[in-house]
């Protein structure tokens, strides 16, 4: 059974299609997108900024309970553009922020987008900076590497980060209230199960 739309499936079957890789960050208070094209590109109402998103990076997985992680790489850090949130990512509370990587299929001759090939949701695990060579003016640039993990407590295992009740319900059961008292259990005794009085 195919999960592709009929239009995307038809263009894939034809063997002649172009792909466009988009990456969207939903940082606290700011949503920003990037792609590897040469000019800004608007998709689903969000303007994706060009030329910064270098590569989708490696996907690492293993047999057993380890989760599949992904690394993405950005160039030219820092930049002066105030809309470029990745260049100023340290100003945001970025850990566990959602990141959506989408691969679009389109018509090569016209660049018309037909639909989505695949889309993956991750969360930011950690970031690191690597020194690059000097630019034409002699200024040093950095490459920003962002390590991603699948969303959800069950995928990451123990993180020692308080998760929301909504995420607990997503991971387990829609009626799960196990996280309802997380903020208080360290200081206030909570009664669980049957209590005899």
Instruction: Tell me the DSSP string of 96-137.
Output: T-EEEEEEEEE-TTT--EEEEEEEEEEEEEEEEEEEEEE-TT
pLDDT given at position 81 = 74
Q: Which residue has the tokens 């894939």?
A: 12
> What is the pLDDT tens value at each position of the chain, 197 positions in all?
357 788 888 888 888 888 888 899 999 989 999 887 778 889 999 998 886 665 565 555 555 545 567 888 877 665 677 778 887 888 888 888 899 988 888 888 887 888 888 888 888 888 887 766 555 555 555 677 888 888 765 555 555 555 566 766 666 677 777 666 665 555 666 566 666 65
Could you tell me what percentage of the chain is helix, strand and coil, using 3-state DSSP and rounding each to the nearest 5?
15, 40, 45
User: Using CA atoms, how far apart are residues 150 and 154, in angstroms rounded to an integer?
Assistant: 9
The answer to whether residues 105 and 30 belong to one domain is: yes
pLDDT given at position 147 = 85
User: Using CA atoms, how far apart are residues 37 and 49, in angstroms rounded to an integer?
Assistant: 8
pLDDT given at position 186 = 58
Among 45, 35, 42, which Cα is nearest to 72's?
A: 35
CB–CB of 107/18 below 8 Å?
Answer: yes
User: Using CA atoms, how far apart are residues 120 and 103, in angstroms rounded to an integer?
Assistant: 9
Q: How many domains does the chain have?
A: 2
Answer whether residue 157 is part of any domain.
no
The answer to whether residues 122 and 192 belong to one domain is: no
Residue 193 belongs to domain spanning: 162-197
pLDDT given at position 16 = 85
Answer whether residue 1 is part of any domain.
no
CB–CB of 165/177 below 8 Å?
Answer: yes
pLDDT given at position 180 = 67
The answer to whether residues 125 and 178 belong to one domain is: no
Q: Which residue has the tokens 């990076």?
A: 57
The answer to whether residues 69 and 30 belong to one domain is: yes
The answer to whether residues 79 and 58 belong to one domain is: yes
Answer whether residue 191 is part of any domain.
yes
Q: Has this prediction a pTM greater than 0.85?
A: no
3-state SS, one letter per residue, for the chain: CCCCCHHHHHHHHHCCCEEEEEEEEEECCEEEEEECCCCCEEECCEEEECCCEEECCCEECCCCCCCCEEEEEEEEECCCCCCCCHHHHHHCCCCCCEEEEEEEEECCCCCCEEEEEEEEEEEEEEEEEEEEEECCCCCEEEEEEEEEECCCHHHHCCCCCCCCHHHHHHHCCCCCCCCCCCCCCCCCCCCCCCCCC
The answer to whether residues 48 and 99 belong to one domain is: yes
The answer to whether residues 103 and 128 belong to one domain is: yes
pLDDT given at position 1 = 39
The answer to whether residues 38 and 131 belong to one domain is: yes
The answer to whether residues 68 and 106 belong to one domain is: yes
The answer to whether residues 171 and 132 belong to one domain is: no
The answer to whether residues 37 and 68 belong to one domain is: yes
The answer to whether residues 173 and 135 belong to one domain is: no
């Amino acid at each position: 059974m195919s999960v592709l739309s009929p239009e995307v499936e038809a263009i894939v079957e034809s063997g002649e299609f172009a792909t466009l890789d988009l990456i969207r960050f939903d940082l606290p208070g700011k949503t920003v997108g990037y792609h590897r094209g040469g000019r800004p590109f608007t998709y689903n109402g969000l303007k994706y900024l060009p030329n910064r998103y270098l590569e989708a990076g490696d996907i690492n997985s293993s047999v057993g309970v380890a989760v599949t992680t992904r690394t993405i790489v950005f160039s030219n850090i820092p930049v002066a553009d105030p809309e470029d949130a990745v260049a100023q990512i340290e100003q945001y509370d970025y850990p566990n922020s959602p990141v959506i990587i989408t691969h679009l299929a389109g018509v090569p001759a016209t660049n018309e987008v037909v639909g989505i090939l695949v889309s993956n949701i991750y969360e930011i695990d950690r970031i690191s900076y690597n020194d690059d060579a000097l630019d034409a003016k002699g200024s040093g640039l950095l490459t920003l590497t962002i390590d991603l993990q699948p969303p959800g407590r069950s995928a990451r295992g123990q993180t020692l980060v308080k998760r929301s009740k909504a995420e607990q319900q997503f991971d387990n059961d829609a009626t799960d209230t196990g996280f309802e008292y997380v903020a208080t259990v360290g200081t206030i005794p909570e009664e669980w199960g049957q209590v005899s009085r």
